[in-house]
Structure 1
Amino acid sequence: MDDSELTDVLEDAGLSPYQAEAYVALLGLGTASATDIADSCDVPDPRIYDVLRDLETKGYIETFQQDSLTARARNPDVVLEDLRSRSSKYLNAAETIEERWNQPEISDHEVSIVKRFETVVSRARELIEAAENQIQVGVDPEQFYAVREELIAAHDRGVNIKLSICTGAGEDVPPLSDIEGTCTEARNREIPAPFFVLVDRTWTCFAPHHDSVNEYGVLVKDRTHTYVFHWFFLTCLWEIWDTLYTERTPETPTTYVDLRHAVRDIEPLLNEDAIIEAVVVGYDTETKESVELTGRVTGIDYTGSNIGRTDPVPLAQLAGRISATLVTDDGTYEVGGWGAVIEEVEATEITITNVEYE
């Protein structure tokens, strides 16, 4: 660094131009009279005495009287500490600016584009930690381990978690011992896919596959937009892929977080005149208050029910309006799926507690 650059830095650190020039000149001279210092820099002779006194006050130099006023640079420890402190503040400010630019505060009903994949993963981990009801996850093996601890904690809280592990050529899925305890069910998509996390039907974190040309991420807080991402998960990451792991057993009550999946299993049972007892957890579509209903499922209805029937019903036939009739001791309720408006209840969880045949 030459004298000019050093002078500029000292000015940035708080010295005046004359103070910076005099100090740099004195560093080169060692000990010198005020006149000699003025001759070695651009400080006018009448100003040099005030400049030296100001530098002494700041702790940069010390002065003493010989034949004339003489100065020498003090031990630079104080100066160096000040410069290093300023440097640290500049670095912290730079990091804060970068962080805030990459991760803006998310407000209600907002879609944000961020530049760094790390920002998307960090936000996904925070949302998983706060999840209350359900999580849908699409990750590659490396990304799985990046969010694994948060998934374990959410699973321990009783959150329903569907995990799609997406593998490319030559990639192995994590061992089942690592998957167990992180999810309710896991499937393996044998094609690379974007990073995907959807939490409580409200939040979505999405980033393209790591081989994508552009690196960016999308953070969404909006139930309408997340519904679109939900269908991406169902059709691309879940429906057609083989199950790796499931907690479901013949003895375990079957719990669904999507009415469409429940209907696919319930319809054949109703066709056989089964008595189906269920617990529905969700929201009153008018008051938005939480509800929990216990009763008997007596019927289902969906837009595609008059299309050519197959077993199981293709997911595409369930893409329209769908509802189930639940008869309780307090009355009969029409239960809808995600985004229900016409029905009395939007179901977030349906548990089949018992199936009997008359």
Structure 2
Amino acid sequence: MDDSELTDVLEDAGLSPYQAEAYVTLLGLGTASATDIADSCDVPDPRIYDVLRDLETKGYIETFQQDSLTARARNPDVVLDDLRSRSSKYLDAAETIEERWNQPEISDHEVSIVKRFETVVSRSRELIAEAEHQIQVGVNPEQFYAVREELMAAHDRGVNIKLSICTSPDEELPPLDDIEGTCTEARNRDIPAPFFVLVDRTWTCFAPHHDSVNEYGVLVKDRTHTYVFHWFFLTCLWEIWDTLYTERTPETPTTYVDLRHAVRDIEPLLNEGATITAVVDGYVTETNESVSVEGTITGVDYTGSSMGRQDPVPLAQLAGRVSATLVTDDETYDIGGWGAVIEEIEATEITVVDVRYD
């Protein structure tokens, strides 16, 4: 149903032509000043204030004063109940309104901007439920509980989950019993941060933190763009913050979903003369076919190595190209990380299964 048809049905349901047009326009704008609403439809400027107040009286919208009179669509339960009591075309209109308000359709574009935080959370829960390999999450305590059930199910499927819980001074962290079983590792950033979910290196869901003036969300389906968000997560939500919980132990095997973190741990062992046996799961960069190979890691290389040896290697030194050499019984492979092009394999998981000193 397009805007014209929806406006006609709302007129049939009892709205004036100006009221129907203003309401449909506001559904598209989300939150807007009276002037902006008038500019976006055919309601005359002198009439827009009366039209908005009439819509507020009917329960369709709410208004508030900022620099000027501003309006936003209310939760459409009242509208939906009225329309669903009418003929089938009213039911069609109600479903259209509900869809626009609650879950805007995700287009085929690489980046979608949505107007409401609820949409971002809803899409995040769906993506977490579909995750196969890895998830990175940044949430406040309330948001953690909103996605906790899906995180637990993903963890049970063997998905590697990094969870950053971001708190303001007046917020308490969830109990460790609630965190256990939802992630592979959890850290606490004691500064408020945006809502953030990154799934399988492909999808990112992002929204400003709850104190932000603007309410919007960004849904990204693109490996190049999500790589930028991945670095936001590493530098802002993960790297410097204290660990709350981890499943990692000193014993092997240890699984990494980021080659950069693997290199940090592997390089000192190689320098000590260790023989490291590992299984690398990922994709052949030329064909995008999945692959799993086991062999010995004989070396690592990264652009920042020329800056001098430090333990642990600072993340900044790993911001460029990073690779590892894996020698099997039959072949030698160059292993790259996220977005590898030059290397033969893009690793999605590196599992160290044995470390020994001859």
With the shorter chain as reference, the TM-score category is: 0.7 to 0.9
CA offset digits 1:253-307 (Å, max 9, x no partner): 1110000000000000000110000000000000100000100000000101010
CA distance in 2, matches of 1:99, 1:210: 23
Mapped partners of 1:294, 1:215: distance in 2:
48
SS at match of 1:333: strand
Does residue 131 of structure 1 match 2:131?
yes
Aligned residue in 2 for 1:52 = none
Question: Per-residue displacement from partner, 1:208-266 (whole Å, max 9, x unpaired)?
Answer: 00110100000000000000000000000000000000011123411100000000000
Report if the CA contact (8 A) 1:301-1:323 is conserved: yes
Aligned-partner residue type, residue 160 of structure 1: N
Q: Is the CA contact 1:282–1:347 (under 8 Å) kept in the aligned structure 2?
A: yes
Q: Is the 1:282–1:291 contact (alpha carbons within 8 Å) kept by the matching residues of 2?
A: yes
Question: 2:153 aligned with 1:158, yes or no?
Answer: no
The corresponding residue for 1:242 is: 242
Q: In the alignment, which residue of structure 2 is the partner of 1:328?
A: 328
CA contact (8 A) 2:155 2:181 kept: yes
**In 1, Cα distance between the equivalents of 2:347 and 2:215?**
36
Kindly indicate whether residue 204 of structure 2 is the aligned counterpart of residue 204 of structure 1. Answer: yes
1:263: which partner in 2? 263
Aligned to 1:311: 311
For the pair shown, the structure with the greater C-alpha radius of gyration is 1
Q: CA–CA distance in 2 between the matches of 1:241 and 1:90?
A: 53
State the SS of the aligned residue for 1:169. coil
C-alpha separation between the residues in 2 aligned to 1:83 and 1:241?
Answer: 51
What amino acid sits opposite 1:119 in the alignment?
A: T
Q: Which amino acid aligns with 2:140?
A: D
Gap change, CA 1:126 and 1:352, over 3 Å in 2: same
Corresponding position of 1:85? 85
Per the TM alignment, residue 88 of structure 1 is displaced from its structure 2 partner at its CA by: 8.3
How far apart, in 2, do the equivalents of 1:126 and 1:354 lie?
37
Contact 2:252–2:354 at 8 Å: present in 1 too? no
Q: Which residue of 1 aligns with 2:110?
A: 110
Q: Is the 8 A contact 1:108 1:222 kept in 2?
A: no
For 1:294 and 1:323, locate their aligned partners in 2 and report how far apart those are by CA, in whole Å.
16
Instruction: Provide closer, same or farther for how the CA distance between residues 12 and 213 of structure 1 changes in structure 2, counting only shifts above 3 A.
Output: closer
Query: Hey, what's the Cα distance between the residues in 1 that align with 2:217 and 2:87?
Result: 31
Q: Identity over aligned residues, as a percent?
A: 86
**Are positions 1:194 and 2:217 aligned together?**
no
C-alpha separation in 1, matches of 2:287 and 2:343: 12
How far the C-alpha of 1:87 sits from its partner, in A, is 7.0
Displacement, 1:311?
Answer: 0.6
Matching of residues 1-358 of structure 1 within 5 Å = 12=12, 85-86=85-86, 90=90, 93-100=93-100, 103-108=103-108, 110-358=110-358
- Paired position in structure 2 for 1:37: none
Structure 2 spans left out of the alignment, 5+ residues: 1-8, 15-81
Aligned AA for 2:302? Answer: Y
Residue identity opposite 1:175 in structure 2: P
Instruction: Provide the secondary structure at the position in 1 that maps to 2:316.
Output: helix
- Cα deviation, 1:48-106, whole Å, max 9, x if unaligned, reads xxxxxxxxxxxxxxxxxxxxxxxxxxxxxxxxxx9973178636624533524664433
Secondary structure at the aligned position of 1:295 is classed as strand
Contact kept? 1:109, 1:222, Cα under 8 Å? no
Shift of 1:320: 0.2
Counterpart of 1:129 in 2: which secondary structure?
Answer: helix
Question: Do the aligned partners of residues 170 and 318 (structure 1) sit closer, same or farther apart at CA in structure 2, a change above 3 Å counting?
Answer: same
Distance verdict in 2 for CA 1:259–1:113, change over 3 Å: same
Structure 1 residue matching 2:85: 3-state secondary structure:
helix
- Determine the C-alpha separation between the residues in 2 that align with 1:337 and 1:109: 26
Go from structure 1 to structure 2 and tell me whether the alpha carbon gap of 1:84 and 1:238 turns closer, same or farther (over 3 Å shift): closer
Amino acid at match of 2:319: A
Instruction: Tell me the distance in 2 between the aligned counterparts of 1:13 and 1:115.
Output: 26
Residues 88 and 168 of structure 1: CA distance in aligned 2, closer, same or farther (over 3 Å): farther
CA–CA separation in structure 1 for the residues paired with 2:109 and 2:84 = 43
**Partners in 2 of 1:158 and 1:326 — Cα distance?**
24
- AA at the equivalent of 2:354: N
Residue 310 (structure 1) shift: 1.1
Kept in 2, the 8 Å contact 1:207–1:217? The answer is: yes
1:6 aligns to what?
A: none
* CA distance in structure 1 between the aligned counterparts of 2:224 and 2:254, rounded to whole angstroms: 27
Q: Distance in 2 between matches of 1:143 and 1:302?
A: 37
CA RMSD of aligned residues (A): 2.1
User: C-alpha separation between the residues in 2 aligned to 1:12 and 1:165?
Assistant: 49
Task: Report what 1:31 is aligned to.
Answer: none
User: 2:292 corresponds to which letter in structure 1?
Assistant: E
What SS does the corresponding residue of 1:86 show, helix, strand or coil?
coil
Paired residues in the alignment total: 282
**Maintained 8 Å contact 1:160/1:184:** yes
8 Å contact from structure 1 (residues 102, 115) kept in 2: no
Once residues 170 and 248 of structure 1 are traced to their aligned partners in structure 2, the CA distance between those partners, rounded to angstroms, is 30
User: Which stretch shifts more, 250-259 or 187-196?
Assistant: 250-259
In 2, Cα distance between the equivalents of 1:187 and 1:320?
A: 25
SS of equivalent to 2:340: coil
Query: How far apart in 2 are the matches of 1:118 and 1:267?
Result: 44
**Alpha-carbon spacing, 1:123–1:83, altered in 2? closer, same or farther (3 Å):** closer
**2:111 alignment partner AA:** V
TM-score by length of 2: 0.75
